């Protein structure tokens, strides 16, 4: 059973607000990831981290930012939310180091920006 948590699960917010999506894992994994998924569409990697103080942009350009101050915590922030940010955001983690490794996903945060 994977121990990776995301809060909030659902968020409805107005345009221009600053939001932070939380992601935490208790498995001690070095690598963490953020994916974005629109309804019925593919997942796209937007950010990833190899460890503390490491963050990289993913394959899909995103206006969001991330930080990795602690191993277990990988929050995603939108400074000024817009309707175009409406989507599902999925956090994942992996132990790293092997091509056969498994990624564990959180339940996701569904964001609606009005």
DSSP element (H, E) containing 5: strand 4-7
Nearer to other proteins, 14 or 61 (CB): 61
Which span sits near other proteins by CB under 8 A: 13-21, 39-47, 60-68, 74-82?
39-47
Q: What's the closest the beta carbon of residue 103 comes to other proteins, in angstroms?
A: 6
Q: Find out whether 3 and 22 touch, Cβ atoms under 8 Å.
A: no
By CB under 8 A, residue 14 contacts other proteins: no
- The residue count of the chain comes to 114
Can residue 61 be called a binding residue for other proteins (CB under 8 A)?
no
Could you tell me the smallest distance in angstroms from the CB atom of residue 35 to other proteins?
8
Alpha-carbon distances, residue 92 vs 3, 40, 43 (angstroms): 10, 19, 12
Q: Exactly one of 76, 78, 92, 113 binds other proteins (CB under 8 A); which one?
A: 92
Residue pair 61/47 in contact (Cβ under 8 Å)? The answer is no
Binding residue for other proteins, selected from 54, 102, 112, 114, defined by CB under 8 A: 102
Note the maximum CA span of the chain.
42
Min dist. Cβ of residue 114 to other proteins (A): 21
**Paired tokens of 22:** 């939380």
């Amino acid at each position: 059973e994977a121990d990776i948590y995301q809060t909030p699960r659902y968020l409805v917010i107005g345009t221009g607000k600053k939001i932070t999506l939380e992601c935490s894992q208790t498995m001690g994994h070095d690598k963490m990831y953020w994916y974005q998924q629109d309804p019925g569409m593919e997942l796209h990697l937007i950010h990833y981290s190899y460890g503390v103080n490491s963050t990289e942009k993913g394959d899909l350009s995103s206006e969001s930012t991330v930080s990795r101050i602690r191993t277990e915590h990988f929050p995603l922030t939108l400074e000024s939310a817009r309707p175009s940010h409406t989507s599902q955001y999925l956090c994942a983690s992996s132990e790293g180091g092997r091509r056969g490794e498994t990624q564990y996903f959180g339940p996701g945060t569904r964001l609606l920006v009005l």
